[in-house]
Amino acid sequence: MSNLQGKVALVTGAGRENGIGAAIAQRLAQAGAHVVVTDLCAAPTALPHGGNGAWEELTAVANSLTTYGVQSLPIRADVTKLSDMETAVAQIRDTFGRLDILVNNAGVIIGPAPVLHMAEESWRKTLEVNATGVFLTCKAALPLMIGGKQGGRIINISSIAAVRPRIYMSAYAGSKAAVVALTQSLAQEVGEFGITVNAILPGDVDTSMKQWGMMLEAAVTRQTADDVNAALINRIPVGRIGVPNDVAHIVAFLASAEAAFITGQAYNLTGGRELS
């Protein structure tokens, strides 16, 4: 297990108890890090959407982390607003005095559709959350990370859609490709401060957002959800879809001292799906 004793981490998009963000927060806490968790904690928009995290779930996630003997702080914050993220980082500075690990996990799938029929708002909001949100959170967090003069880790959750886009997912795929490019550019900018920047590209992971997506696909293709799930598993060499802990484990490694010489990389985490 990676030793992150005494480190302080910020994980965005952690307001779903069965989500990837919550699993990442738990794994970092298990390794000894104090973990700050954030989410928008607002009702979904009128556009087709997998849903946002809830304040009750976010606080439950934070409370669960204290069982590992670490401190945790839940913060309601919108990654698309620099002022929100700067306020969150100020709370981290006032509470812990440092920030060592940033995990940009917040992400959405809004109104997937053919480009010809996609709502302009769906395109703009998807890019705003998935790409601009990563930029703004990094912008807010870097002064504290650099000022600490102890290095750090930035881990961005992209998607296999960044390199293997699927039909009707142009906004999502484009936003996640932007995350990979940002990762590689930023890695070159902050390496001199001992800060590494890497991206993880998960494939199909069993979360409420994924279940929403499969139900949507089933409706569009006139199949049952079970048929969609079976076809999906058939395309994955390891014979199953991922679970949030699959992502959490590689995040913990990239956050550790063992990964100090790894930066600017994008790791596929798909069970081999992209090979088929």
Q: Decide if 75 is inside a domain.
A: yes
Q: Decide if 209 is inside a domain.
A: no
Q: Decide if 165 is inside a domain.
A: yes
User: Residue 79 carries which DSSP code?
Assistant: T
Question: Per residue in 81-103, pLDDT tens?
Answer: 999 999 999 999 999 999 999 99
Q: 């100020």: which residue's tokens?
A: 90
Question: Per residue in 36-49, pLDDT tens?
Answer: 999 998 766 555 55
Burial class, 214, CB count within 10 angstroms (exposed 0-12 / middle 13-18 / buried 19+): buried
Q: Decide if 210 is inside a domain.
A: no
Question: Per residue in 163-193, pLDDT tens?
Answer: 999 889 999 999 999 999 999 999 999 999 9
Q: Decide if 163 is inside a domain.
A: yes
Q: How far is CA 233 from CA 91, 228, 236, in A?
A: 43, 9, 5
Number of structural domains the chain divides into: 1
Q: Decide if 12 is inside a domain.
A: yes
- The token pair at 200 is 């993880």
- The token pair at 260 is 């100090």
Look at residues 261, 267, 251 and name the one whose alpha carbon lies nearest to residue 2: 251
Provide the 3-class DSSP secondary structure of residue 254: helix
Q: Decide if 43 is inside a domain.
A: yes
Note if 172 is an active site residue: yes
Domain that holds residue 89: 8-203+243-275
30 confidence band (pLDDT: 50, 70, 90): very high
Maximum distance among all Cα pairs of the chain, rounded to whole angstroms:
56
Q: How far apart are CA 276 and CA 144, in angstroms?
A: 43
pLDDT at site 44: 61
Q: How far apart are CA 86 and CA 141, in angstroms?
A: 7
CATH of the domain at 169: 3.40.50.720
Q: Decide if 225 is inside a domain.
A: no
Q: Is the pTM of this model over 0.85?
A: yes
